[in-house]
A = this chain, B = another copy of it.
Amino acid sequence: MPAKVDIPRKSIYRLSIYQRCLQRLRENQVDTVSSAALAKAAGVKSTQLRKDLAYFGQLGTRGLGYNVDALSGTIGDVLGQNKLQPVILVGVGNLGSALMRYGGFRKEGFEIAAAFDLAPRKVPGVNVPVLAMTDMPDFIRRQNVKMAILSVPASSAQSVVNEMVQHGIQAILNFSPTVLDVPENVVVNSVDLAVELENLSYFIR
């Protein structure tokens, strides 16, 4: 795989969007698509799409466009979708249990291998074990889990993160409304609902 260092994070985000559009094309038996058409579906400019894809080699055919299957496969490799990636979820509250019930992850190559909570109890209708927080370190090591979804209250987020990271978690999707402090080699994406709403609120007059 090519060097990851100087590919913009925003390009990576867009690859996911392209991938979704390609999936739809595939379902519709389309086998070739131009940058213009795919860009339209993804809501970006065609030059941007071509730049994004060019980071990963010459993926298209001049005069013709991109092969849907091949492009989708390449993007899947880049995003690590092509092998099921185990993820743990920590904090089985309102949001946590809703996320456990959300089926969309598996389709995109992720599997919630287990959930953890201080007061573990089964989430109805979901086939994921809910374990005690004290079982987390062991689970991470044994199953070699690298990714975690964090949906605990803000007050305990940092301490949970410290423990996760210490036992091998390298990437965290954070839903707690707080700024997390992590080592250089750990990636955090934060989804902060209040921040998103406030941002919208600013842009309405």
Interface residues of A (CB under 8 A from B): 4, 9, 12-13, 15-17, 19-21, 41-43, 78-81, 85, 87, 94-95, 97-99, 101-102, 104-105, 107-110, 146-147, 149, 170-173, 177-179, 181, 187, 189, 191-205
Which residues of chain B have C-beta atoms less than 8 A from A146's C-beta?
204
Tell me whether A41 and B105 are in contact in the complex, defined as CB-CB below 8 angstroms, given that A4-B202, A4-B203, A193-B99 are known contacts. Answer: no
Task: Say how many copies of this protein the assembly contains.
Answer: 2
Q: Is B194 a contact partner of A191 (Cβ separation < 8 A)?
A: no
Q: Is A80 a contact partner of B191 (Cβ separation < 8 A)?
A: no
Task: A195 to B81: give the CA distance in the assembly, Å.
Answer: 11
Q: Is B173 a contact partner of A17 (Cβ separation < 8 A)?
A: no
Q: Is B199 a contact partner of A16 (Cβ separation < 8 A)?
A: yes
Which residues of chain B have C-beta atoms less than 8 A from A199's C-beta?
9, 12-13, 16, 79, 189
Which residues of chain B have C-beta atoms less than 8 A from A173's C-beta?
193, 196-197, 200
Q: Is A202 a contact partner of B12 (Cβ separation < 8 A)?
A: yes
Q: Is B194 a contact partner of A104 (Cβ separation < 8 A)?
A: yes
Which residues of chain B have C-beta atoms less than 8 A from A203's C-beta?
4, 12, 171, 187
Task: A201 to B49: give the CA distance in the assembly, Å.
Answer: 21
Indicate the member of A42, A195, A199, A202 with the most B CB atoms within 10 Å: A202
Task: A147 to B199: give the CA distance in the assembly, Å.
Answer: 11
